[in-house]
């Protein structure tokens, strides 16, 4: 699938529990962070409710800026059922992300030697 001209590329540079890597394509860092948080929660141990991670832009000719995020997962008491294209989809949890300052990242280690901004 060809990339859209406004699409940017990001990767996870470090996280609370040592998972890094992956390529996330999105027009904004926050949308890519939500995609990355979803994958991080999949790889996390059961019961993890939040994760801090560093997202670095890897788009060609970009400044390779690093963004700092904290992701939260909210498990619903009863699953939500929505309908898309006539198909029922059951949603068991919701993932949200918020930006953090570098000083709030605590023990999150950068796993790559790429320059930070």
- Would you state the pLDDT for residue 101? 87
Q: Is it the case that residue 113 has pLDDT exceeding 50?
A: no
Residues 6+ apart with CB under 8 A from 32: 8, 10, 24, 25, 26, 55
Model-level pTM? 0.80
Per-residue pLDDT reduced to its tens digit, 7-22? 999 999 998 888 888 9
Contact yes or no for 70/55 (Cβ under 8 A): no
| Integer Cα distance of 45 and 49 in angstroms | 10
Residues in the chain: 117
């Amino acid at each position: 699938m060809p990339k859209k001209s406004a699409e940017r590329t990001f990767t996870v540079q470090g996280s609370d529990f040592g998972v890094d890597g992956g390529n996330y394509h999105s027009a904004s860092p926050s949308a890519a962070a939500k995609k990355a948080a979803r994958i991080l929660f999949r790889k996390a141990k059961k019961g993890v409710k939040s994760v801090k991670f560093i997202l670095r832009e890897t788009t060609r000719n970009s400044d390779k800026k690093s963004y700092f995020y904290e992701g939260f997962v909210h498990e619903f008491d009863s699953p939500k059922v929505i309908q898309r294209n006539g198909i029922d989809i059951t949603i068991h949890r919701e993932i949200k992300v918020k930006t953090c300052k570098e000083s709030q990242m605590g023990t999150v280690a950068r796993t790559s030697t790429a320059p930070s901004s």
